[in-house]
Amino acid sequence: MKKIRLWSSISMILILLGYCDSPTKPGTPIPFENIEGAGRFNVPEAGTEVIKDNAAWINLWENYWNAFNGGGKTPPPSVDFERKMVIAIFYGADGAAYTGCQNFVETIEDIIEKSGKIEVRIGPLTLEDLGPCDAGLYPLQMVKIERSDLPVIFTGEIPYQWYPYNPVNKE
């Protein structure tokens, strides 16, 4: 009887250890927050980007920010890069096929930490998300998460072309 209990315990431990590296393990959810005002960016190339410092953020702002007042460009949304980093999904112009009322969409389904990586799961982009207007758009989503040195991978409905400034390797 003791041998059966011992083998049962060993079997359960081996099953649980095998589950630790299972590709179906859900991972640890990472909370994220949409960046308010990020829809003011017009990024014509489709792709993804991870922004970890103010210099890269300002570079993106200088090249693609489209909000102006009497004194020039308005400032970009504030991000504390000591504590946070930005995950961005850009859908580009797609031959100017995107039209609607707003650039900002919500296609990030979730972000998890799994197997020593941060995984950003992207759902489908639907044109209904953009609104009924006829303005040409560059759909995007930008979120803030806690700063991390882990590699970031994107899975799911990834935009077709990698963003040229700081490409993230697709796995």
Distance CA(145)–CA(147), nearest Å, equals 6
3-state class percentages of the chain: helix first, strand second, coil last, to nearest 5: 25, 30, 45
C-alpha span between 87 and 160 (Å, rounded): 17
The token duo for 121 is 């799961």
Say whether pTM exceeds 0.85: no
Helix (H) or strand (E) holding 90: strand 84-91
Burial label, 118 (beta-carbon count in 10 A; 0-12, 13-18, 19+): buried
Tell me the C-alpha distance between 113 and 146, whole Å.
Answer: 12
Q: How far apart are CA 101 and CA 68, in angstroms?
A: 18
Q: Which contiguous run of DSSP H or E holds residue 68?
A: strand 68-69
**Would you give per-residue pLDDT tens digits along the chain (171 residues)?**
566 665 555 555 555 555 454 444 578 999 999 998 888 888 888 889 999 999 999 999 889 887 776 677 788 889 999 999 999 999 887 655 688 888 889 999 999 999 999 999 999 887 777 888 888 888 999 999 999 999 999 999 988 644 444 344 444
